[in-house]
Structure 1
Amino acid sequence: MQAGAAPGHAPASQVVIDVENLTKRYGDKVVVDNLSMQVRRGEIYGFLGPNGSGKTTSIRMMCGLLTPDGGEGHTLGYDVVTEAPAIRRRVGYMTQRFGLYEDLSIRENLDFIGRMYRMDRRHERVDAALERLNLSGRQQQLAGSLSGGWKQRLALAACMLHEPEVLLLDEPTAGVDPTARRDFWNEIHTLAAHGITVLVSTHYMDEAERCHRLGYIAYGHLLANGTPRELVEGAQFVTRTLSGPGIAALTHEIEARAGVTMVTRLAEGLRICGSSQDALDAALAPWRGLPQFVCGRTPPSLEEVFIHLSKQATDNFANA
């Protein structure tokens, strides 16, 4: 789906998060500007965008932690403005920073949360959370001694303790090693397969490709919405590869050519993007016919799609 296109509407029974023209301001700056999107039951919806784009603010409005200044929305059928406490009881929100007690063990942290919220079946819930996240064997280990990956597992277990229907995960794997990220995402897919809806913000392109659908937000505006394949196939630009000896030295010259919008250096050569096929081929004409260079066609990558969208957006804090 292209930037600026209206998000597709699913049947009401399948929609878990539904917001329309959601807006948040801080002073005279609009942080989230008329955000409209839907998240469907049991899907993993990836929320992407540069730092300061409004992802965290949007998530907090959807889970009832922040009151919007305009627009309307519902999460699990509850109004995000008038029924925020009901939303908070039925969603799990995982923040960017680890917020549990490092001088308590894994089990003690979970038991403390259960006590604080006066959960029924507390011991049963803690045991289930430990088992679900494969934490049972480490349950007596102090949280402060855990690696980043295990801390994220503990934080997710804490989010799941009250058996939420929706998980809102704000950059949950930032700073976590690739193996731990893979294991974490395998668990997210397991939860989604059991009907839990997941809205997750991330900067990693490999994680974006593991989402069922994606929304790309930049400077408060939702610029694109769709499956990873839809976003790549709907990209309004073309990409070429150029490889050969000494190709890196040509980077700046190629970047300056009319019809070229972006050049990326790779170990094997250059990836070159342009707004139209004819203009890009004309820009590369001086090198395409030379025997030492190989020019090929390739579809845009998801990362290139997002960079292309970001370049079209206006920074709402540029003059702050």
Structure 2
Amino acid sequence: MSASSSQLPLSGGPGAAANGPAREHVVVARGLTKRFGKFTAVDGLDLTIAKGEVVGFIGPNGAGKSTAIRMLCALLAPSAGAASVAGFDVAREPESVRAHIGYMSQKFSLYGDLTCLENLRFFAGIYRVPRTVLDERMRFAVAMAGIEGREDALVRTLAGGWRQRLALGCAILHRPPVLFLDEPTSGVEPQARRRFWDLIHQLAGDGVTVLVSTHYVDEAEYCNRIALIDAGRLVTVGSPGELRGEQLGGQLFECACASLGEAVAVLRATPGVLDAAIFGDKLHVLLADAPAAPAASVAHALPDRLAREGIDASAFAPIRPGLEDVFVQLVSRAKRRPGNGVARTGDGERT
């Protein structure tokens, strides 16, 4: 560890496993903040990521995910706070940080007018990959991307999934211990997205630490832990299972009905209904649960309430919350909380 990064804990501490040996933290952020004039893009980010862990940065567009990743990659100077990556301080040792990470930007980063092999050679030169291992590393990247037989094709002619896997291959030519992926599957078809995530977990199995941002909630299921960010602030951190078990403040019910939009408006104005949202061709309704008005009793009366407005609906059945239900409620709760405090689930950090 470098002297300048020794002020940040890289093992043990808040993010360590409570019932097992402490794991080395290769990414540590404490109070990381970025301001652009009067606008705060990232506000007091606290996050630790262990070696070989896959952490999903989940949040809507404009939430601050890309800005946070660029600070951790030492591409953007923080306005406040501190961070270390692979033992190096992002503010004081940016060149050392960049030498020890792989980075895929939100926008496609390869050169479309170059062939696949030419792109690989170009990035190998940037990362100073030794000539003695260059051919082996390039063969590995070609196989990982699944472009055997297309090595001499111009990158712009490749399908989106191939391009993204090739970009990942370019990002790991120098075998970095930490990998930052900024919405790498945006615009990629579902089957290619799943293959991309298989590659991510193969890398994590080899000890590579991965922080990947996405606005696809279903991709959160592939992560060891999820960091939910909104409006520049971290809302919660936890495993998918821990977040699904998060208390929503009521019971969740589902129903099928006609005129979904009208039904949502009616339900949100109904006493006992905390929230209502459209999920595909169904409604998810969060109901308060109190001794004087149990959620089940409120749910039983809702079809009649809708019928009085001319809306046919099925019976409301209790369901287990999904991650999207949890995310919607946690973000709404954070916006209502005085001072917009931050919750933490499962990693012991402050609330």
TM over 0.5: yes
Cα 1:287–1:101 change in 2 (3 A) is closer
- What is the alpha-carbon distance in structure 1 between the residues aligned to residue 325 and residue 14 of structure 2? 21
Higher relative contact order structure (alpha carbons within 8 Å, sequence separation ≥ 6): 1
Equivalent in the alignment of 1:311: 332
Moved more, 165-174 or 262-271: 262-271
RMSD between aligned residues: 2.5
Decide which of 31, 42, 45 is 1:35's aligned counterpart.
Answer: 45
TM-score (norm 2): 0.81
TM-score (norm 1): 0.88
Moved more, 233-242 or 90-99: 233-242
- What is the alpha-carbon distance in structure 2 between the residues aligned to residue 36 and residue 298 of structure 1? 33
Equivalent in the alignment of 1:132: 144
- What is the alpha-carbon distance in structure 1 between the residues aligned to residue 82 and residue 115 of structure 2? 41
Equivalent in the alignment of 2:242: 230
**Which runs of no fewer than 5 residues in structure 2 stay unpaired?**
1-12, 308-312, 337-351
The offset of 1:268, in angstroms, is 5.6
1:154 equivalenced with 2:166 (yes/no): yes
Cα 1:257–1:287 change in 2 (3 A) is closer
Cα 1:206–1:82 change in 2 (3 A) is same
The offset of 1:53, in angstroms, is 1.1
Is the contact between residue 99 and residue 127 of structure 2 (CA under 8 Å) also seen in structure 1? no
Aligned length: 309
1:261 equivalenced with 2:274 (yes/no): yes
- What is the alpha-carbon distance in structure 2 between the residues aligned to residue 282 and residue 28 of structure 1? 49
- What is the alpha-carbon distance in structure 2 between the residues aligned to residue 99 and residue 240 of structure 1? 44
Residue by residue over 1:59-101, the C-alpha shift from the partner in whole angstroms, topping out at 9 and shown as x without a partner, is 1111211111111111111111111111100100101111221
Equivalent in the alignment of 1:318: none
Describe the SS at the equivalent of 2:137. helix
- What is the alpha-carbon distance in structure 1 between the residues aligned to residue 139 and residue 314 of structure 2? 61
Give 1:96's aligned amino acid: Q
Give 1:24's aligned amino acid: K
Is the contact between residue 287 and residue 293 of structure 1 (CA under 8 Å) also seen in structure 2? no
Describe the SS at the equivalent of 2:181. strand
The offset of 1:258, in angstroms, is 2.4
Decide which of 300, 308, 317 is 1:296's aligned counterpart.
Answer: 317
The offset of 1:192, in angstroms, is 1.0
Q: Percent identity at matched positions?
A: 40
Cα 1:19–1:140 change in 2 (3 A) is same
- What is the alpha-carbon distance in structure 2 between the residues aligned to residue 47 and residue 275 of structure 1? 30
The offset of 1:51, in angstroms, is 1.2
The offset of 1:267, in angstroms, is 5.6
Is the contact between residue 254 and residue 284 of structure 1 (CA under 8 Å) also seen in structure 2? no
Give 1:163's aligned amino acid: R
- What is the alpha-carbon distance in structure 2 between the residues aligned to residue 263 and residue 305 of structure 1? 13
1:239 equivalenced with 2:252 (yes/no): yes
- What is the alpha-carbon distance in structure 2 between the residues aligned to residue 51 and residue 7 of structure 1? 29
